[in-house]
Structure 1
């Protein structure tokens, strides 16, 4: 498939610049360039070709482990038997580089990354390359999900000095941690258009010995330029920009890139981008009587429907894959990420609220069914991801998508029963294959399968509506639905016997916070206490296993141990800004769904800790990492792009508004204003890069209109309560609803009322207020 021949470019949002997430990212960069090798460097590199081909022979991994065997990260453990003297990120590696005056080779990836697997197999298992890395460099391996600060800093360098970025990320640093060469995936050998990894290592080794002074000077200049470029500050500005202007510009930019036929934005690879869908729903809510408002609603709903019908959705086991390699949402990159499931279940719940169409609520419930089955620890936490690759059969080499693809023969054998009442001879298998587009030759185009490995393989994708499929064979729609559901269940049971993709059982506080939101919001929308209980158990897990009571700090990670235990690294990896931000959001969503004040009280405490550790008292906004934790890194960044995950600063703006609304704590409103003002220039320049922050800007300015700029609790909080105190269980948010104007009622189960506007104490995520709250 095309995404196996080169990693995709980055797409709107995860990192700065225009380029995408997790083996790709979030922005608009040229799509037609081969990104399998990205090099940014002042070091001369050969063009490659027949004359420079190498013969790096592969050997079986050595049986003696390196020091990564002592780590907890699944990604680092995947490299524990490489013939490379790997170090984890830390002072031991830095001291060695300074003492021996060697450059640092930094390799950053994650455990479910296809191209990370490729480079590990091709280069890091290679004895000759292993000797080069061990003798001439200090080689450091980083799990980007454990250390997002390290990843962001050096990806900023790679994107700023090359045409894109992605994972694995390969960067060479001075002993003082300043970057001077950067790239992504390298093949082991030189090709006609590609520089081999061995050649890169030899050239950098030579330049370090012969031309080190120039390298250091260039590195310092680049670092200085990046410092200036990454500065985000209020400066002389006193107020954030106009919400109406930013909303209009953001919508227009999205409208220009919208795919009318298949939904989504830009060309392939195509990503779900829940933050964009959330913005469109909010835009519709505030412009519902205008043509643009209707357009925004249609764009979001059509995109969600096309995604749900496409191959990016796992129709057999539910949940969504990472992204589509084509415009049609047909052939996905098959890894499944927790953060996608969390955000998409909220998006589909919102779509159900707006449309009343149970198609969307069914998709949301399917996502949560998948998470509960495949990504849940028995103590309540949520795992990070499932890999794209797995062996087609036991003992075979892993291939991308092997777990999810089907041949016509397999389906026919599993579903041989004849369908009574059809207008022509028909089996259950034939009915399912017609509906989901399976063919004898396979439904993956040759352009997506350059090596011819997937001939005869099929991705399930809905080709016809139930009505059309039923009419084609003269059957009732209900009968077709039952037959398809039965067929999918049989495929699901058969798939259990296939070798499963690798499960990344690492648990991250940030993504667990997003998943708490997913269960809480969907449970509230659908009126299902069972789903809210999943959110409660997730929050309890966070407090029990990822929260240090004495310091009030969150831990970034914990890991599934043997026998269902939970393990931690020693010393623990402390939380980053996104951990606090997403957990606070999850707790506020859970408070609104459950009305249990304990969750609001914990959110208040975490927000205090977040302010203490990450707030920029001079420039406004939050840094991504603690000053102490990021000591030695050349940059301390503020995340300024909403992408596969929303920017932590964007979510913080929402959280501050909500907390102010619940408690009347003026400091949080002031911080929200400072934050929005600090990001003013970024929003003015590229509002589409920060749709979640534009939503927060709108919520803030709407709040000022609603309350006339008055201070103090908005509602549901007695004026006599001290600032920061949480409302009791009996003090329901009835008063808050007075700030909303009822738009219409939708007669669906559960009964819901659409409300306009967003008060500072309400999330705006539950676009509709559950009837029981009234």
Structure 2
């Protein structure tokens, strides 16, 4: 056992039995490198990373590799989910050094933490055009002994340039024109859009929910032409539709895998991450609001089912991920073993459910073939040959026609078949579960649950959202020191980063909208204030990943890209807009406009870098629509109207429920106006709608209120999402 045996991170614990003398990233470990005058070998990954497992088996369990690492280096392991600051800083080096990034990330540093060589996965021996890991270790050890000045000089130069880039400051020279950036972003996305299969890149295809967030809200931007607006909505809706029917979407238990290896969303990389479920969940809710298409609602509901069945902590909150690998029937670890089927396995499982004659037809309907349906040229492992991933690419009408039954009967057969296949699959060995709870990721999930309650109206969603919020506040928040923690696993772990504060602030605002309890609004304001106090970058007025007082002693990093997760900058902008809309406090509007100004130089060059921020800008530019529902919160008619009014996607909307029997929330703006409205209450819920500085007559019927609201909503009434 090495020093990792005392850590809480499941990823670090996976390496505790390695013959490599791993150290965690601590002051003691870094000091040891200086004392022994050895370079640091830094290896960064996460517990559900397939290629991290491959390199661990090939290299870190190898006694020859262990001897080299232990004799000539200080080997340090870092969980990227636990320490995003370290991961981000050295990933920038690896991307600049090699032209690509990914995990495992392996970097060699001087004892002063200056990187001089790095990359991602290295095979044990040279192959695929990659240098062998053993040869690299020997060469660096030799250079460190006989030509150290070369490595030190290279490291110092790189480190200096990286620090210089982080500490460079700028003042915006002109007012930001984010309307131009939005138009350019639509043009760039249209140019890279796959009009056959959806998505915006060649394979591997990664879902990027921030793009969907922007595209849905671009449909409301007055500065865009009607053609651009329609294209924006089509690109998002068609991509989400194709993803839902593909192998990247688990057709039996719900949820989405990390990415697709091919262009058709067919063959996924099988790990499942909480942040993907939460952020994609919000995208599918947006799509359902736009179209009223049950496909998007069903996809979201199955996603929630996956969260509750696989990632849910009994006391509330959600675990971080499930692995891509699991044990196959022979007891060997295999990527996708839990999810894949041979054609024979499918037929045998389906026969007692739908009958022998129909089992083959159903198997084909799910996209399976006798030869296997995985793209042959993309299968790295021999074990995946002749395997099938379940798909829903054919319309249900095809199955009904082939079986000679009605559409409704076909739907019932498919549901019955799925349930039977799910029961059979649950007998298999499940993928490894990373059971740490990450604050930021739970914030995204809380936002999705709260919004879903508003749109769908299922009270269980609100209960789960409140349960999650309570869990996070009890286990990751220390009110005495005003400190938020990032990780919970057998107690608190690492102190929180800017994304944790920003995500929790935004999720508390979503929960306030759903629950209408002022305590959530108060907490949102507190977390936003702490974000501004602890993390504002003194050079660019963006946010540092680490708190300023910590960053002064370590490596400064900031997020300026909406990737798999939204950047802190974008999350904060969303919170600021909501806080300003709810409270009317000018300081929030000024800070929001400051963020737009400082993001402009990035967006001017690379408009798709921060699509979430552009989406917030679209909301900010949309006319404010204030909806005040006066009625008793426990009244069923009040609840019905609340969900009906939530159904439309109105970008810049304020929806407040005023209960005449309760005290008016003190943080809300316009208290005198709201008090006047509650005095008019006579037992029946009343809807007040104020737009463009004027208020409409009070409505008692939801349908009439919706007619007033529709001109301000983003709508897509067409039945087909396929761009022409």
What corresponds to 2:419 in structure 1? 489
Match of 1:443 among 373, 382, 385: 373
| Equivalence map 1:227-626=2 (5 Å) | 227-230=163-166, 233-237=169-173, 239=175, 241-286=176-221, 290-393=226-329, 396-417=331-352, 426-427=357-358, 429-559=359-489, 567-569=490-492, 572-626=493-547
2:139 maps to: 203
1: CA distance, partners of 2:348 / 2:45: 40
Alignment partner, residue 585 of structure 2: 665
Kindly indicate whether the alpha-carbon contact (under 8 Å) linking 2:518 and 2:665 is maintained by their aligned counterparts in 1: no
What secondary structure is seen at the aligned counterpart in 1 of 2:75?
strand
Correspondences of 1:167-178 after superposition (within 5 Å) = 167-178=103-114
How far the C-alpha of 1:402 sits from its partner, in A, is 0.3
Say if 1:614 and 1:625, in contact at 8 Å, map to a contact too: yes
| 8 Å CA contact 1:664, 1:723 repeated in 2 | no
Q: 1:86 to 1:160 in 2, by over 3 A?
A: same
Superposed CA deviations along residues 254-288 of structure 1, whole A, max 9, x for unmatched, are: 00000111111111111111111111111113369
For the 8 Å contact 1:664–1:714, the answer to whether it is kept is no
Per-residue CA deviations over 1:83-131 (Å, capped at 9, x if unaligned) read 0111101101111011111111100000000000011111111111111
Of 720-729 and 268-277, the range deviating more from structure 2: 720-729
- Which shifted more, 537-546 or 675-684? 675-684
1:118 to 54, 64, 67: 54
Shift of 1:738: 3.3
Post-superposition offset of 1:696: 2.3
Offset of residue 356 of structure 1: 1.1
Structure 1's 147 and 464: CA in aligned 2 closer, same or farther, altered over 3 A?
same
Equivalent residues in 2 for 1:150-169, closer than 5 Å: 150-169=86-105
Inter-partner Cα distance in structure 1 for 2:139 and 2:694: 67
Contact 1:389–1:402 (8 Å) recurs in 2? yes
Counterpart CA distance in 2 for 1:515 and 1:203 is: 46
Cα deviation for residue 415 of structure 1 reads: 1.7
Change (3 A) 1:232 1:299: farther
CA–CA distance in structure 1, aligned partners of residues 255 and 581 of structure 2: 34
The equivalent position to 1:677 in structure 2, one of 575, 597, 612, is: 597
Corresponding residue of 1:79: 15
Distance 1:192 1:553 in 2: 47
Find out whether 1:738 has 2:674 as its counterpart. no
Do the aligned residues in 2 keep the contact of 1:601 with 1:726 (CA within 8 Å)? no
Equivalent pair of 1:714/1:736 in contact (CA under 8 Å): no
What is the match of residue 181 of structure 1? 117
**Alpha-carbon distance in structure 2 between the residues aligned to 1:753 and 1:438:** 49
Spell out, residue by residue over 1:131-163, the C-alpha distance to the aligned partner (whole angstroms, 9 max, x if none).
111121111100000000000000011111212
Provide the rounded CA distance (Å) in 1 between the counterparts of 2:711 and 2:142: 64
Distance 1:530 1:579, change over 3 A: same
CA distance in 2, matches of 1:521, 1:251: 26
Q: 2:639 matched to which residue of 1?
A: none
Partners of 1:208 and 1:727 in 2: CA distance: 69
Cα offset, 1:724, TM superposition = 8.8
Could you tell me how far apart the structure 2 residues matched to 1:291 and 1:87 are? Answer: 56
1:10-29 → structure 2 map (5 Å cutoff): none
Cα distance per residue 1:279-305 (max 9 Å; x no partner):
111111336971221121111111111
**2:610 corresponding residue in structure 1:** 690
Does structure 1 conserve the Cα–Cα contact (< 8 Å) formed by 2:275 and 2:444? Answer: yes
Distance 2:169 2:531 in 1: 18
Given that 2:177 and 2:600 are in contact with CA atoms closer than 8 Å, whether structure 1 keeps it comes out as no
3-state SS, counterpart of residue 351 of structure 1: helix
Post-superposition offset of 1:434: 2.1
Structure 2: how far apart are the matches of 1:755 and 1:196? Answer: 61
2:36 and 2:399 map into 1 onto residues whose CA distance is: 70
CA distance in 1, matches of 2:478, 2:144: 44
Aligned-residue offset at 1:605: 0.9
Moved more, 502-511 or 447-456: 447-456
**Residue 466 of structure 1: CA displacement?**
0.3
Q: Residues 652-697 of structure 1, C-alpha deviation per residue, up to 9 Å, x if partnerless?
A: 1111121122222322222222222112110100011111111223
Aligned to 2:558: 638
Query: Per the alignment, do residues 207 and 414 of structure 1 end up closer, same or farther by CA in structure 2, a change over 3 Å counting?
Result: same
Deviation at 1:457, TM superposition (A): 0.8
TM-score under structure 2 length normalisation: 0.87
Shift in CA distance, 192/262, structure 1 to aligned 2, threshold 3 Å = closer
Residues 649 and 79 from structure 1, CA distance in 2 versus in 1: closer, same or farther, beyond 3 angstroms?
same
Question: Aligned partners of 1:753, 1:493: CA distance in 2, in Å?
Answer: 48
Q: What's the secondary structure of 1:139's corresponding residue? A: strand
Q: Is the 8 A contact 1:418 1:426 kept in 2?
A: no
Pick one of 25, 41, 46 that aligns with 1:89.
25
Tell me the secondary structure at the aligned position of residue 318 of structure 1. Answer: coil
State the distance in 2 between where 1:274 and 1:602 align: 26
Q: CA, structure 1 residues 188+352, in 2 after alignment: closer, same or farther (shift >3 Å)?
A: same
- CA distance in structure 2 between the aligned counterparts of 1:484 and 1:491, rounded to whole angstroms: 10
Aligned CA RMSD, in angstroms, stands at: 3.1
Q: Conserved in 1, the CA contact under 8 Å of 2:248 and 2:265?
A: yes
- 1:505-544 per-residue CA deviation (whole Å, 9 max, x = no partner) reads 0100000000001111111111112111111111111101
Deviations, residues 443-491 of structure 1 (Å, cap 9, x unaligned): 1132122443222210011231001221122111111111111111111
TM-score norm. by structure 1 comes to 0.81
Task: Give 1:377 deviation, angstroms.
Answer: 0.2
Structure 2, unmatched stretches of 5+, are 627-652, 659-663, 679-685, 696-701, 716-724
Number of equivalenced pairs: 668
Distance 1:274 1:180 in 2: 34
- Partners of 2:214 and 2:450 lie apart in 1 by 20
Deviation, 1:217, is 1.7
